[in-house]
Structure 1
Amino acid sequence: MRQSLRLRLFIGAVLAIAFVLLLVASGLGRIFTNYVADRYRADMSAIIDQLAAGVEFSGGIARMTDAPSDPRFELPGSGLYWEVIGGNGLVFRSRSLWDVELLPETLVDGAYGFRQGEGPDGEPLLVQLRKVELETPEGSRPLTLLAGFDRKVIDDAISEFHGAMTIMLVLTAAVLLAAAFLQIGIGLAPLSRLQKGLSLVRSGRTDQLPDAGPTELRPLVTELNGLLKERETAVERARARASDLAHGLKTPLTVLLQLADNLPDRERSMIRQQVDLIRQRSDRQLQSARLGVEQMAQTGLASLTGKLISVLAPVTTARDVTWKLALDDQLTVDMDPADLAEALGNVLDNATHFARTEIVVAAERDGKYIRLDVEDDGPGVAEAALPEITARGVHLVEGEGTGLGLAITSDILTAYGGAIAVSRGATGGLRVSLLLPAGH
């Protein structure tokens, strides 16, 4: 399954950013919660200190001589409370508690390190409790001091902080993701330039990749240039061997033709036919050996087709066969001109043999390919025989030709990643469709 490197890097960045921001959110949330809880504990401790300082014993009876001055203690249900319980059961409490008494034995462990009870409005209270012993002339006197506040106050403060922090972290994530996307684009840009360089090499516009770019890519560029150099050397060797083989075959074939002149007409004709067949097949095999290592080039489809038709025009003009062309001058094919000429020439040549009045040649771009249709208005081929037409040795008309034309075309197109298809045309003749790699 194909995976995008850009997508994989972006997903990795998203996961890393999400993980880090979750850690930051958790850490900041814990730090703020502890800070707020510590502040409230300090405030409650200060209130308890004031309460302890404001209690006096006279004749064994406790009195509140100085209560905390915060006005919230005077407003019922204000959210801030205190209570003092003497050893004899005497209770002093802030007016904010109204008629509610905080009993130490009813308090349970609460959040943020406080104990929890119930306030005058039934709301949960967080309470700090301290038991002290006051020294009096009559002896030591126990006191239980309590200071508390509505839990909702600290919950709301922490909730507001988390809301603001969430907005901040979302904005931070958006900025970091944008930065990651930009960084990935900048980081992968050299690969895009490398791809364009390879495209230029493939199209024959240059023979080496530029030795520029990031340090990390230079070893790859060096290796690719070395591979291209070896490929060029292999091409030259293939050409030299092809030339040697062509020259090696030329002499024995010429001798055979000379010997054939001394034979009767029937045998001489047969030998000449076989020698021609050997030449055709050897030329094809030499060209096949070159395919795949020959450097590709951009070939203008309309221009090459026009040249091929001009060669075939004398044959069609003599038979009153007209050509109908629908080719865009801008269409280019990513093939060697000689290979494209042979592949297309075989198809056009077949069409000239069987057309009655007209041959239609049309082409259009289809994604990365160009579809070229050659259709004649001849007798056509039976539906059952269509799949076998491109096989070697199959003759469109028994006894005519070598049966290699469309097979050779198929071999050439396959070598370039193209394909050939045959079907019945609109007029009943043969339609040959060539799928050619489109130029850039």
Structure 2
Amino acid sequence: MRLRSLRLRLSVAAAGLIALALGLAGAGLVVIFDRVLDARTAEDLDRTAKFLAGQVSRAQDGHLHLAAEPADSRFATPYGGLYWQIAPDGPDRAGDLHSRSLWDKSLPAATSDARAVDLAGPEGTRLIAVARRVTIGREGAQTPLTITVAMDRRDLAASRTTFLGLIVPALAGLGLVLALAMLVFVQRALRPFRTLRTDLRAIHDGSRTTLPNTFPDEVQPLVDDLNRLIGVQERALQRARTQAGDMAHGLKTPLAVLTALARRSADDRPELSAEIEGQALAMGRQVERALVRARVAASGNLRRRACPVAPAVDRLVATLRRLPDADSLSWETSVPAVLSYPGDEGDLTEMLGNLLDNARKWAHRRVVVTGEMHGSESILVIEDDGPGMTETAIARVSRGRRWDETKPGTGFGLAISSDIAEETGARVTLARSELGGLRVTLDWQSALPAERRTAGREATPH
């Protein structure tokens, strides 16, 4: 996938936003969990403090006495992580009561009542603590006390670690689901553009003339502009064809007159007449070639025609068979019905007419026409068993010159065919045939969809 791909950009942006959202959500959940955990812990500690407040009393000797201690075993384990302490208010802390877990330590005085605070604990630990102030004794002999219950925050950290061990895979799974959902969303969001590409390819192949008006409102303005562009090019094509035809008639008639005048004056000045006639014929050929190139170039618009090759070959071969000097030739054709040329039928007929007529003129006994497809490449080969061409002659034809002046039109038709092929995206290659004569190869990229390239491969021999 290229860096300029809209799908890649949307996917990367969506992945980044999903990752950011999940990161923020995870951080928020951890903060919420910490606050909820502190609140729940403070409630449990305050409940223990109320229990201790109900159990504490002052003995006859003035010392504090606890009727029952909390049942949690951590209060009885030295530095077990749960601690309680009961201390009289004031500077005299004599008579303090504390849990066995504090051992020989004591808790700092808390400044809040029934609210969670952080205190320094034994062995350098940090505690979350709740302090509750109560008064015991009869009126007139009351004793204010501060009951502090604390828990080691390492126990909370263990709960936090357990929570993280659950929330991280959950968020990762959610991220995967969101990423898949975003991929589906991107695919559906870009579907109109894929449909547009398919419809444009159909116009390019010649199976459609305009784009449909079934696109979403966000894409339809672009489709309307493309339809207007297609209409403008179609009208320009028609004007170009009309102008090319008018130019052909306007130039061929004066050239024909010059040729006739040259032949009429052949008796008086034969050398001048022959020179004028030769130049007129040369001008006619150049005009014909220029008009062909102009006409074919004008057809290179968005609508790429697809013309079947086999019917055109059959028609031309049937026509050439009827010529007087073609009776002794054997025509062998094998062209798949699926083979299509990316151009107008007129261009294909003119090009194949030149190539087949050239093979007819030089063949001794055989002319072989074969077609085949290799993936997206289409190939049409015309061979004869004539004398063939040298590399020098092939180079002359490539430069648009005639091959042999002894036969009218020889070589110049090959140059025109090369021009037509070039303008329609094809290529003409000349080489020596295994039959002994000339091998003309015409190859192009097929305009057919992939599912049709594998169908109709059966060739029809003639």
Short-chain TM bin: 0.7 to 0.9
2:75 and 2:82 in contact (8 A); partners too: no
Structure 2: 5+ residue runs without aligned partners?
A: 109-115, 449-462
2:281 is aligned with 1:279: no
Match of 2:184 among 166, 182, 185: 182
Q: How does 1:147-186 map to 2 (within 5 A)?
A: 147-149=150-152, 151-152=154-155, 154-186=156-188
Q: Which runs of 5+ in 1 are unaligned?
A: 106-111
Q: Indicate how the Cα distance of structure 1 residues 315 and 9 shifts in structure 2: closer, same or farther if over 3 A, else same.
A: farther
2:85 touches 2:99 (CA, 8 Å); kept in 1? no
User: Offset of 1:275 from its aligned partner?
Assistant: 3.0
Question: Alpha-carbon deviations, 1:131-168, whole Å to 9, x = none?
Answer: 9797998998886835224724x334333433443444
8 Å CA contact 1:302, 1:327 repeated in 2: yes
In the alignment, structure 1 residue 145 sits paired with structure 2 residue 148 = yes
Shift of 1:332: 1.8
| Aligned equivalent of 2:45 | 44
Match of 1:391 in 2: 398
Structure 2 Cα separation of the partners of residues 6 and 31 of structure 1: 37
Instruction: Give the corresponding residue for 2:426.
Output: 418
Contact 1:392-1:403 at 8 Å conserved across structures: no
Describe the superposition over 1:204-244 as per-residue Cα deviations: whole angstroms up to 9, x where unpaired.
44433333322222222222222222222212322332232
Q: Could you give the per-residue CA deviations for residues 376-433 of structure 1, whole angstroms, max 9, x where no partner exists?
A: 45555556876x3653234444765464334333332232223333445456654333
**CA apart distance, 1:276:** 3.3
1:108 aligned partner? none
Could you tell me which residue of structure 2 aligns to residue 260 of structure 1?
Answer: 262
**Deviates further, 398-407 or 241-250:** 398-407
| Paired amino acid for 2:330 | T
1:374 aligns with 2:382: yes
What's the offset of the Cα at 1:299? Answer: 0.9
Q: 1:263 to 1:102 in 2, by over 3 A?
A: farther
- What RMSD, in angstroms, separates the aligned Cα atoms of the two structures? 4.0
- The equivalent of 1:329 in structure 2 is 337
When structure 1 is superposed on structure 2, of 159-168 and 256-265 the one drifting more is 159-168
Q: Distance in 1 between matches of 2:437 and 2:214?
A: 55
Residue number in structure 2 paired with 1:109: none
User: C-alpha displacement at 1:197, in angstroms?
Assistant: 3.2
Q: Hey, what does 1:19 align to over in structure 2? A: 20
- 1:211 aligns with 213
Task: Write out aligned runs for 1:225-244 (5 A).
Answer: 225-244=227-246
- How far apart, in 2, do the equivalents of 1:377 and 1:252 lie? 40
Instruction: Note closer, same or farther for the CA distance 1:202–1:127 as it changes in structure 2 (3 Å cut).
Output: closer
Asked if 2 retains the 8 angstrom alpha-carbon contact of 1:410 and 1:419, the reply is yes
Instruction: Report if the CA contact (8 A) 2:49-2:147 is conserved.
Output: no
Moved more, 249-258 or 394-403: 394-403
Structure 2 counterpart SS, 1:335: coil
TM-score, normalised on structure 1? Answer: 0.79
Q: Compute the displacement of 1:101 (Å).
A: 4.2
SS at the partner of 1:261?
Answer: helix
Inter-partner Cα distance in structure 1 for 2:211 and 2:373: 29
Alpha carbons of structure 1 residues 163 and 405: separation in structure 2 relative to 1, 3 Å: farther
| CA distance, structure 2, for counterparts of residue 27 and residue 235 of structure 1 | 65
Distance apart, 1:195 and its partner CA: 3.0
Distance of aligned partners of 1:375 and 1:140 in 2 relative to their CA distance in 1, 3 Å threshold: farther
Cα shift readout 1:250-274 (whole Å, capped 9, x = no counterpart): 3312321221122335554554443
CA change 1:380–1:30 in 2 (3 A) is farther
Asked if 1:431 is matched to 2:439, the reply is: yes
Contact 1:372 1:435 (C-alpha < 8 Å) held by counterparts: yes
How far did residue 329 of structure 1 move? 0.9
* Matched position secondary structure for 2:298: coil
Equivalences for residues 87-102 of structure 1 within 5 A: 92-95=97-100, 97=101, 100-102=103-105
One-letter code of the match for 1:34?
A: R
The TM-score with structure 2 as length reference comes to 0.75
Give the direction of change, closer, same or farther, for the CA distance of 1:94–1:317 in structure 2 (3 Å limit). Answer: farther
Q: Distance in 2 between matches of 1:390 and 1:160?
A: 84
Q: Which moves more between the two structures, 219-228 or 395-404?
A: 395-404
Residues 272, 402 of structure 1: alpha-carbon distance in 2 compared, 3 angstrom cutoff: farther
1:250 is matched with which residue? 252
What residue identity is the alignment partner of 1:9? L
Which of 236-245 and 268-277 deviates more? 268-277
Please name the residue that 2:416 is paired with.
408
Judge which range, 321-330 or 228-237, deviates more.
321-330
Matched-pair contact (CA < 8 Å) for 2:52–2:147: no
C-alpha spacing 1:13/1:375, structure 2 compared with 1 (3 Å)? farther
In the superposition, relative to structure 1, how do residues 73 and 297 fare at CA in structure 2: closer, same or farther (>3 Å)? closer
In structure 2, C-alpha distance between the alignment counterparts of 1:143 and 1:227, rounded to whole Å:
89
Once residues 386 and 62 of structure 2 are traced to their aligned partners in structure 1, the CA distance between those partners, rounded to angstroms, is: 130
Task: State whether residues 389 and 406 of structure 1, in contact with CA within 8 Å, keep that contact through their aligned partners in structure 2.
Answer: no
> How far apart, CA to CA, are the structure 2 residues paired with 1:118 and 1:310?
110
Amino acid in the other structure paired with 2:191: A
- Answer whether contact 1:331 1:439 (CA < 8 A) is retained: no
Aligned to 1:202: 204
Corresponding residue for 2:32?
Answer: 31
- C-alpha deviation, 1:312, in angstroms: 3.5
Structure 1 pair 187–132 and aligned structure 2 pair: CA distance change class (3 A): closer
CA apart distance, 1:26: 1.9
- CA, structure 1 residues 55+237, in 2 after alignment: closer, same or farther (shift >3 Å)? same
1:175/1:389 Cα in 2 relative to 1: closer, same or farther (>3 Å)?
A: farther
**Cα distance in 2 for residues equivalent to 1:418 and 1:91:** 104
Confirm or deny: 8 A CA contact 1:393 1:402 kept in the other structure. Answer: no
CA distance in 2 between partners of 1:60 and 1:382 (Å)? 134
